């Protein structure tokens, strides 16, 4: 294997590893939803504990990394279509890439409003627009943006990411504005409506940013140069977060303050940033961690089962929500005689239930083992090409 091949494998494996890590964290968050529902929000500093808080907070990385890497992967796909990922895609490759992004974006939105919604509810009480919707709509926008120069794509990204918090006080209402920035529930009838959990503007900007940094992963970019760029960007984002957060002047609708309960709660308050929609400060801190991990994963030996999840994120997402929901209901019926009910205006929790993080973590580990087996089975059923199967190392490799 040549040095160039090794470098190419390392940069792409780093993307798979980072995506795999956030898939694992995503599963933790969703396992907590179905095996450890609480009567308080884990981020509520007045009611939470550090263990519940950090279990929730670390999963904030997931959406940021998914959307950012979706943009980067789009650039890599277009560059490969041009015959080499050492340079950007030409016009024929752009045409194919734009068509692919538009088609895949529409399919993701359709998947969100059908199977994913059913998986969360085991019914169809409302339409919930979450991360798959944001990814799909981001791809639809990117299908247009790919025709622009990279500096223009980067400018759109910066405008949407840095500027959307200027609109926080403007709340004209209406479904279109809720979908773009405000979020929230929009009734379509007395018994049915749309809940926008992931308003689009900042997520669209983040996907554009991922596309704009795509050339950093070109085959002609030396590994050290790419890692310097990633670490430099990570450091810059973190510094910007620290300055903005300390100043409490812009970038998050919830300013922080000392809690008077020790350094841990002060730290929790400092990083308690707004996710729905994601504030500039939220994207800065989670983006800095994501980019730093991306640089680090080029330097470490890949973990086979994490890499496997990183190669198959859509399969994992499509399957795991329904599976966790089903197993969570079985667990609650076994332990407490009934499952929690979240579809009404007031959540109903079975008598005798007390939230337990130990149960959440045990269920999470079991879920990962089960999903590992299902993913391997799915790949075999698909008759994955030998080069893909051979690159998936066994657990612990």
Q: What angle do CA 26, 163, 146 make, to 5 degrees?
A: 70
CA separation for the pair 117, 347 (Å, rounded)? 18
Is 196:186 a contact under the CB 8 Å cutoff? yes
Is 134:203 a contact under the CB 8 Å cutoff? yes
Q: How far is CA 322 from CA 34, 145, 329, 369, in A?
A: 10, 34, 11, 16
Assigned domain for 191 exists = yes
Omega into 277 within 30° of 0, i.e. cis? yes
For residue 141, the model assigns a pLDDT of: 97
Assigned domain for 279 exists = yes
Question: How many domains does one find in the chain?
Answer: 1
For residue 286, the model assigns a pLDDT of: 98
For residue 381, the model assigns a pLDDT of: 85
For residue 171, the model assigns a pLDDT of: 87
For residue 325, the model assigns a pLDDT of: 96
The pTM score is 0.91
Rounded (10°) angle between helices 3-35 and 61-81 = 150
Tens-of-pLDDT digits for all 397 residues of the chain?
344 444 556 678 999 999 999 999 999 999 999 999 998 999 999 999 999 999 999 999 999 999 999 999 999 999 887 665 545 566 778 899 999 999 999 999 999 999 999 999 999 989 999 999 999 999 999 999 999 999 999 999 999 999 999 999 898 889 999 999 999 999 999 889 999 999 999 999 999 999 999 999 988 889 999 999 999 999 999 999 999 999 999 999 999 999 999 999 999 999 999 999 999 999 999 999 999 999 999 999 999 999 999 999 999 999 999 999 999 999 999 999 998 887 665 668 898 999 999 999 999 999 999 999 999 999 998 865 444 444 433 333 3
Assigned domain for 373 exists = yes
The beta-carbon contacts of 74-80 under 8 Å, at least 24 apart in sequence, are 74/101, 74/139, 74/142, 74/146, 74/207, 74/210, 74/211, 74/214, 75/210, 75/211, 75/214, 75/215, 75/217, 76/12, 76/214, 76/217, 78/146, 79/214, 79/218
CA separation for the pair 321, 160 (Å, rounded)? 30
Query: Considering just the CA atoms, what is the radius of gyration of the chain in Å?
Result: 21
Assigned domain for 396 exists = no
Domain boundaries, position 64: 3-391
Torsion of CA 121, 314, 181, 341, to 10 degrees: 10
Assigned domain for 397 exists = no
């Amino acid at each position: 294997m040549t040095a160039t091949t090794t470098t190419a494998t390392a940069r792409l494996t780093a993307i798979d590893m980072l995506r795999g890590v956030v898939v694992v964290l995503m599963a933790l968050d969703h396992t907590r939803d179905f095996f450890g529902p609480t009567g308080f929000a884990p981020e509520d500093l007045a009611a939470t504990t550090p263990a519940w808080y950090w279990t929730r907070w670390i999963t904030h990385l997931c959406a940021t990394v998914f959307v950012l890497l979706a943009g980067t992967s789009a650039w890599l796909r277009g560059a490969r279509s041009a015959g080499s990922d050492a340079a950007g895609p030409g016009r024929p490759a752009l045409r194919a890439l734009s068509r692919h992004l538009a088609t895949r974006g529409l399919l993701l939105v359709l998947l969100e409003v059908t199977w994913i919604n059913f998986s969360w509810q085991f019914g169809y009480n409302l339409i919930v627009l979450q991360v798959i919707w944001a990814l799909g709509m981001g791809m639809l926008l990117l299908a247009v943006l790919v025709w622009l120069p990279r500096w223009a794509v980067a400018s759109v990204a910066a405008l949407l990411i840095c500027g959307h918090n200027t609109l926080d006080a403007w709340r004209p209402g209406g479904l279109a504005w809720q979908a773009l920035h405000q979020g929230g529930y929009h009734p379509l009838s007395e018994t049915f409506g749309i809940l926008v959990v992931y308003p689009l503007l900042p997520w669209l900007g983040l996907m554009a940013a991922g596309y704009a940094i795509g050339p950093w992963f070109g085959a002609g970019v030396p590994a050290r140069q790419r890692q310097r760029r990633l670490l430099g960007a990570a450091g810059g984002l973190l510094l910007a977060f620290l300055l903005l957060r300390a100043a409490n002047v812009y970038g998050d609708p919830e300013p922080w303050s000392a809690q008077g309960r020790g350094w841990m709660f002060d730290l929790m308050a400092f990083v308690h940033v707004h996710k729905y929609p994601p504030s500039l400060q939220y994207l800065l801190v989670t983006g800095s961690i994501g980019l730093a991990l991306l640089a680090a994963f080029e330097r470490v030996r890949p973990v086979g089962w994490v890499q496997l999840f990183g190669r198959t994120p859509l399969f994992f997402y499509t399957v795991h929500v329904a599976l966790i929901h089903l197993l969570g209901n079985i667990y609650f019926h076994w332990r407490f005689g009934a499952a929690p009910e979240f579809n009404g205006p007031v959540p109903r929790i079975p008598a005798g239930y007390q939230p337990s993080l130990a149960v959440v973590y045990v269920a999470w580990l079991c879920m990962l083992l089960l999903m590992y087996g299902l993913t391997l089975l799915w790949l075999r059923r698909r008759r994955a090409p030998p080069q893909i199967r051979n690159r998936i190392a066994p657990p612990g490799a």
